[in-house]
A and B are shown apart, each in its own frame.
Chain A
Amino acid sequence: KAGVTQTPRYLIKTRGQQVTLSCSPISGHRSVSWYQQTPGQGLQFLFEYFSETQRNKGNFPGRFSGRQFSNSRSEMNVSTLELGDSALYLCASSLDPSGGYNEQFFGPGTRLTVL
């Protein structure tokens, strides 16, 4: 079974631009979560989507947004990029049976550099 895929793997943008990152979950997984990883702040939760609805949200400004499609693929968008948005953006997918916890599987990440 193919793992979580993220595209592109590397991206360079300039301040003020916007960017869209894509995540394809493992087949059959319905939940997709996004995380930002930086040397200073570590791994921080951005948001989670399930059945095309945002179910959880972290403490990030409104410039960070996302969506999920009917096939569970997800995109996240960052508008008006700032230098501090340079980070590794990780996507994770999981099944979502009712009740209990289900494991999150992570993709390789998209490395975003803002100049």
Chain B
Amino acid sequence: AQSVTQLGSHVSVSEGALVLLRCNYSSSVPPYLFWYVQYPNQGLQLLLKYTTGATLVKGINGFEAEFKKSETSFHLTKPSAHMSDAAEYFCAVSDRGNQGGKLIFGQGTELSVKP
């Protein structure tokens, strides 16, 4: 069965530092890939997605992710962290050929940003 692994349940960076959140998926057939962010007491907001085409995907708030098929990875990066980036981040996948709404999520990575 498809699974998603996020390395590190907590990541702490200093303001202005690089943010790197890691995500690996298990499928031999590359799925659709997503990163979501969740702020306290809120739902999930899509940061970016990879469905097809260019493997470097740019999202909102300065985030980007690179799909690497050989590594089955989809790591999320941001060159310079801001205090407002503190939140929980979820990597998710959806099988190609799956009609619409079944996302499989990783366990989440809580990002802390130190001043």
Q: How many residues of A contact B (CB 8 A)?
A: 28
Task: Evaluate contact between B99 and A108: CB separation under 8 angstroms.
Answer: no
Tell me how far the C-beta of B54 lies from the nearest C-beta in chain A, rounded to whole angstroms.
16
Task: Evaluate contact between A103 and B102: CB separation under 8 angstroms.
Answer: no
Interface residues in A21-57 (C-beta closer than 8 Å to B): 31-33, 35, 42-45, 48, 50, 55-56
Q: How many residues of B contact A (CB 8 A)?
A: 25
Chain A residue at smallest Cβ distance from B106: A42
Asked whether A107 is an interface residue with its Cβ less than 8 Å from the other chain, the reply is yes
- Give chain A residues whose Cβ lies under 8 Å from the Cβ of B99: 50, 55-56, 96
CB-contact partner of A33 in B46, B49, B103, under 8 A: B103
Asked whether B43 is an interface residue with its Cβ less than 8 Å from the other chain, the reply is yes
Interface residues in B84-115 (C-beta closer than 8 Å to A): 90, 92, 94, 96, 98-108
- Give chain B residues whose Cβ lies under 8 Å from the Cβ of A20: none
Task: Evaluate contact between A33 and B102: CB separation under 8 angstroms.
Answer: yes
Q: Mostly helix, strand, loop or mixed at chain B's interface? A: loop
- Give chain A residues whose Cβ lies under 8 Å from the Cβ of B105: 35, 42-44
Asked whether A90 is an interface residue with its Cβ less than 8 Å from the other chain, the reply is yes
Task: Evaluate contact between B100 and A96: CB separation under 8 angstroms.
Answer: yes
Asked whether A92 is an interface residue with its Cβ less than 8 Å from the other chain, the reply is yes
Asked whether B45 is an interface residue with its Cβ less than 8 Å from the other chain, the reply is yes
If A106-B44, A107-B43 touch, does A45 touch B102 (CB 8 Å cutoff)?
A: yes
Interface residues in A58-115 (C-beta closer than 8 Å to B): 58, 90, 92, 94, 96, 100-109
**Residue ranges of B at the interface with A (Cβ–Cβ < 8 Å):** 32, 36, 41-46, 49, 51, 90, 92, 94, 96, 98-108
Question: Could you give 16 example pairs across A and B, Cβ below 8 Å?
Answer: A32-B101, A33-B101, A35-B103, A42-B105, A42-B107, A43-B92, A43-B103, A45-B102, A48-B100, A50-B100, A55-B101, A96-B99, A96-B100, A100-B51, A101-B32, A104-B103
